[in-house]
Amino acid sequence: MRAPLRGRRLRRAPGGILTYATDRLYAEIAYVAYYLHWSHEAILDLEHAERQRFVREIGALNTRISGE
């Protein structure tokens, strides 16, 4: 059984995947929201891979800035 995902109507989890590690999801949402000032809903509407890409890019920017 597939569970509907938040955000877009009628979008369902692929392959029956229902959950993602809650603590990690909260950490990713907080990280992206803090740096990009996006809403909770906007971040949850991102696909998993896209959200992780933003997390990596923000981390890379922080590393570059702190190294200067």
Report the pLDDT value the prediction gives residue 64, as an integer from 0 to 100: 95
CA 29/CA 32 separation, integer angstroms: 5
Model confidence, pTM = 0.67
Residues of the chain under the 70 pLDDT cut: 1-20
Asked whether the beta carbons of 13 and 27 are under 8 A apart, the reply is no
* Amino acid identity at 47: E
Which pLDDT score, from 0 to 100, does residue 21 have? 85
DSSP H stretches of helix in the chain: 22-36, 40-44, 48-67
Question: Count of residues for the chain?
Answer: 68
The predicted pLDDT at position 59 comes to 96
Strand partners, 25: none
**How high is the pLDDT of residue 68?**
73
Report the C-alpha gap between 43 and 7 in whole angstroms.
10
Paired with 4 in beta bridges are 12
